[in-house]
Structure 1
């Protein structure tokens, strides 16, 4: 066996140091040193100088210490890896939750919009049905036509609707544009498009109002949106 210094091995274990110290003391005839004192260069005993049993104790103590050190390092590494894995998993979960929340919000917004549009369409259809109850006359005054419009057009949209009609026909349900052929209160072009609201579109202001309101809702979203467009462009 090679002559390995006991100092490098025995210091790793208190038990080994005690054993080595005892051996050294016996061999030299000196008094046993305090276990807490680190052996000096003069006290260094070579492993080969120890009895076989003591050599085994020193080697075992050293190997045990090395194993304990390796185990502690492995535990620390495993703990660090576990913490990193937990952090990544938490971040991934947070991203998934955020994406799910955004999808849910978008879906809810779309459903709300669809419900609003459905409600608006239903209200518009109800207005059309209500408008058909106006009695047919051979002629109508501006006041009568405006009264019809107030009953057909939603209150919050009436002023915008009125602004457009003021500019387009001055509330004359027989107004005709000589150059384009546009006709009626809202100056439909071609005029025959108003037939979708009623066959009497040429003589019944209520039919023209129904058609005009539906046109503004479908094309612009509302009479007020149509009025905003009119102000910017001079037409709608």
Structure 2
């Protein structure tokens, strides 16, 4: 090389590769034209030739690599979508199963509570029906006697609520009369004649009044304790 006329390394290597290729091609043509046996001039490139070729950027190789990376990215995206869809479906199935279990448990609980309320009501009605006529008729009754009647007619778990209402309404006076409204008896029934549905002796027999009052609380509110809850909120029942 002449100093001052510098040629790039790639240009020199390109020239060398091109020259080697041209020589090989010429040799092949000459051998065929002379009728001599063709010699295999396609020998493997030397290490130096391979190094020269490796240093030359290959555009088509870059395109292949880009396409390969794109395919890999697409495959990973598809796999990720499939995994996300599977996870979402599994979560939905799990949530549906938990909801079904919760609904079933609630339905069973509600049915059990309804059954208990029905049994309690039936028991209370049975007690009031059987016990109301089992007391001897007297000319008058003390508070203790009236309360004893009520304890036999009202379920033990409901008695305190029942007693609270009677205390507020009449203080257990079966002949109590409200001067302004005319409400009568243990429960201050208005009019008092309502209690005739439980017996003709409603004015003089506390057992008849107790039967009527218990049936009223059960039919209107569900139980004496439910009636008492209403009374506390409204000061009447």
Q: TM-score under structure 1 normalisation?
A: 0.66
- Stretches of structure 2 that go unaligned for 5 or more consecutive residues are 1-20, 25-40
- Stretches of structure 1 that go unaligned for 5 or more consecutive residues are 1-22, 48-57
User: In the alignment, which residue of structure 2 is the partner of 1:40?
Assistant: 55
Distance verdict in 2 for CA 1:35–1:179, change over 3 Å? farther
**Displacement of 1:124 after TM fit?**
1.4
* Alpha-carbon distance in 1 for matches of 2:84, 2:120: 54
Distance verdict in 2 for CA 1:168–1:74, change over 3 Å? closer
Contact map agreement 2:165 2:228 (CA 8 A) in 1: yes
Contact map agreement 1:183 1:191 (CA 8 A) in 2: yes
Distance verdict in 2 for CA 1:168–1:34, change over 3 Å? farther
Distance verdict in 2 for CA 1:72–1:131, change over 3 Å? same
CA RMSD after TM alignment: 3.8
**Displacement of 1:95 after TM fit?**
2.8
Aligned residues: 198
The 5 Å alignment of 1:1-236 reads: 31-32=46-47, 39-41=54-56, 72-73=72-73, 75-142=75-142, 143-236=144-237
Higher alpha-carbon Rg = 2
User: In the alignment, which residue of structure 2 is the partner of 1:8?
Assistant: none
* Alpha-carbon distance in 2 for matches of 1:220, 1:38: 100
Structure 1 stretch displaced more, 132-141 or 206-215? 132-141
* Alpha-carbon distance in 2 for matches of 1:45, 1:186: 107
Distance verdict in 2 for CA 1:81–1:35, change over 3 Å? farther
